[in-house]
A = this chain, B = another copy of it.
Amino acid sequence: MLPGVGVFGTGEIANVLVPLLREKGFEVKAIWGRTLREAKETANAQNVTFYTNVIDEVLLRKDVDLVFIVCQPFLHAEISVKALGIGKHVVCDKPAGLHQTDSMKMVRAAQYYPTLISLVNHPLRFLPAFTQMRRCLQDGLIGSLGEVVLMDVRVQMGTLFPEKYNWMCDAQMGGGALNLVGSVVDLVHFLLQQQAIRVHGVLRAYTKTTPSINGIRQITAPDFCNFQMELSSGTLVTVALHSHTVPTKSFSQEVLVYGSKGHLVVRGGDLFILKESQQKEEAVYVDVQDLHVSTNNSLLPRPYIKGLCKMVGALKEAFNSKESSWIKAPVSTAATFEDGLYVQAVVEAIRKSNETRQWQRVQLTTDVPLNHDQIIRYGYARMSTM
């Protein structure tokens, strides 16, 4: 039987997520919002009976066994750690907290409860073009994975900023292009199975206001990023993210991987290959599936929604599997909290490089956060609900 779901958040993603969850057979039992008014609004719009602005009121519900955390990043670590402590499965949206200390708290909580699902929502991992690309790379179709020489990513999207001012407009919160950078960093890691050693990046905040955001609070988050990564094997990754000048709601992505014996390229949702002996690219996967859920009004690019839809499907499969030890297999594609920590470290290094005008080593924090008590404390609450 599928677990009941509690959703933390009332923004764009919450409104896309609830219908997707229902389509796959999950019941959404509760909505949490920062204010009661926001919670009520989303609960009414999505036809969910229970809403609250108190975190524990969702976590302590016996009919909620899986939580989706899609609210402001500064709450991601707190809610994730509490939820795991209390025995709930967790899917947390990117970024995994505000900084590496946050991510580390999440990692420790996940390690403490290894039987619970704890994932970061990086939906591109579930997009068929990318899962197929990963398989082609593993199968050595363009040469050995360790010999990939270059990866080039180019994303152009309409505005990154929502109608109303929220954390996505705020540089300190990791909003704007920084969030997109995180998605790309995770995708590179997923595809090439290698981490970055050094990075260099240029960030720019060209958009200060929009027709709807033009009051006292201005946009501080960057809307442009150009960065380079050097991976452990020496592979170079070059990335260009543009958003400030692209017509609203447009989205294009091109991900090229050059191997020793050819290249693979994802354009939009399609995958192509060029082997060294060939003169023309050949289609490996053409995206024909369409979404059942209407997403016309969403700011989220379609590949992200499609990926999210696939991830929810994988979660369903995971919970339907009989063998509890195998529960995580269908979601083994997904990003773990450790992956979230790595992404955080790379994004921090890119920000630092932008300030220092130098390449920066990617440094994973070794600070062990003192959240052991917090993990355990909620363990008691958990027992009391059982």
What mask results when residues 205 to 237 of chain A are scored 1 for a CB within 8 Å of chain B, else 0? 010000000000000000010101000000010
Dominant secondary structure of chain A at its interface with chain B: strand
Q: Which residues of B contact A359 (CB under 8 A)?
A: 357-358
Inter-chain CA distance A114–B205, complex, in Å, is 45
Contact A279/B358 with A202-B228, A226-B238 known, Cβ cut-off 8 Å: no
Copies of the chain in the assembly: 2
A77 vs chain B, min Cβ distance (A): 33
Q: Which residues of B contact A204 (CB under 8 A)?
A: 149-150, 236
> Does A200 sit at the interface, judged by CB under 8 A?
yes
Chain A, 338-358, CB within 8 A of any chain B CB: 357-358
Inter-chain CA distance A224–B150, complex, in Å, is 10
Determine if A244 and B226 form an interchain contact, defined as CB atoms under 8 angstroms apart. no
Determine if B236 and A238 form an interchain contact, defined as CB atoms under 8 angstroms apart. no
Determine if A245 and B226 form an interchain contact, defined as CB atoms under 8 angstroms apart. no
> Does A369 sit at the interface, judged by CB under 8 A?
no
Q: Which residues of B contact A358 (CB under 8 A)?
A: 357-359
Q: Which residue of B lies closest to A234 (CB)?
A: B204
A296 vs chain B, min Cβ distance (A): 16
A281 vs chain B, min Cβ distance (A): 9
Contact A242/B152 with A200-B200, A236-B202 known, Cβ cut-off 8 Å: yes
